[in-house]
Structure 1
């Protein structure tokens, strides 16, 4: 296949592209606007592959999307381009509405026009794979339930509401126009090349610099943690083997409280980069985020039963790999923080 990956310079998108180019015979067109979280350095290992092409394009730019489709003629679209940080969505929701809703609509329409012009065999094999989040389902506080593919949507933040909206658009384009779409909803990702606004990279870098390790509220928020390279493998399974019209939840089977995640990072750093004091002494509890969901948890049984995917990393192995990567790639971390963001709190 030739796969058009939107948001391919981002954290998950770059992992998807590395996985495809290193482990399959497929080719990739990376379409990315290169906003603050998009970084082509995350693709240096594969950027000289003959099967790889890059297009710096905004998914809201219909004319440029039409050009890309006409020039590259993809067999599938994997749509990962999105604004994705809850705290940023509280500070400035407009960008989330524009990219996640208007951008998804624009991409769907460009894809539909391109798909309509394919021959019947090409139409049958084409896929539009929309990558979403478990946050669209809302909060599992007070229950032992898991999110399934039929859980009703109850988004809590501007970010999750915008992703829920994009999910609904994708389903509507299948129902109304017949565009062959598939949706996946994933749990919290972590791993190499993660922009340091998110919990795990932020804590690693702050710890090493002797800065406070901020934890919202009591740190009792529970998330299911999914190693990004496991997620990349799952997404390729879905785009190549998934059933049109289906939704697949992807999780890591690793429910952890935020305080436990931070303490585990501190323990690894105590071992690998010892200092005079325990890194845990840098933990600081701060006022909780507005509308903060307490618990997310994914039932990933469907993708395991139907497509044979399950995560290979435990939280212990994945987190150690992640800490090792940040210790070995401090220059990358410095370069991606271009002065506009210095790991300060957003969305307060």
Structure 2
């Protein structure tokens, strides 16, 4: 079964989706939409696109293409709601770039619409398909770390600086998705504080605390104004720490084993060792596309990154925004579905 797909948005990430759909035998790329004609021309040349692939500057030009079955939406988040809603109403399955939208109510409405239309809504939370995140889930399920104590993450770099959203909306969703996946729960309370240096109203630095129903807490450092590039996340337990360091490409997932032995009033480290977790190979975005096409072919909801998963993450981000605006007061998070 070949699924006819259109990609809306041919920017930095959209180009990668175009490439993956072109390489996947389950997909037939029939259209690419982007307002930038030069970008479309470059895309045609780069991938030697067949003349049958429609290159259009707006959605209206392709929304009624014959036999179109699915669309991937890789446009600015502020445009997501209208585009996704229209695509679903047209009877298309949708793969949406994160965040699903900027408002929880819109997200949940899209989830209901997808269900009513009996179409699949999948969100491209790429890290949920990363071999290291999948491998981390297995480590967590084995109980290797002992009693879980806390988590921490750092996602920093010198840019890119967004002009539509702050560093928290740009970066935090990745680490929250990973923590939620590894812990098997979602935060019940959040706190966020930040600093603004570059653009009025858009925080360049944000510190986040996530509190889960189990009592577990995770602390996240987010900054796009820091030359020290970090992509590191860890969960600490009584017997060791699980570490995902994306910049260590040869061994991104490790377990640092170790605990204490009490001798009198002293605590001495014991059983210390470093274990590299063996991972399957594979590009995460390729897995996203394969997963989406599988959901479409079976007309079955995603078990990894459904619209509801995306909606709940937006709900968490909105609560974090409220906390940030109120100077870091704790905000309860209610998952609506």
Tell me if TM exceeds 0.5: no
Give TM class, smaller chain.
Answer: 0.3 to 0.5
Using the size of structure 2 for normalisation, the TM-score is 0.40
What TM-score does the superposition give when structure 1 sets the normalisation length? 0.39
Q: Which of 1 and 2 has greater Rg?
A: 2
Which structure is higher in strand share? 2
Structure showing the higher helix proportion among its residues: 1
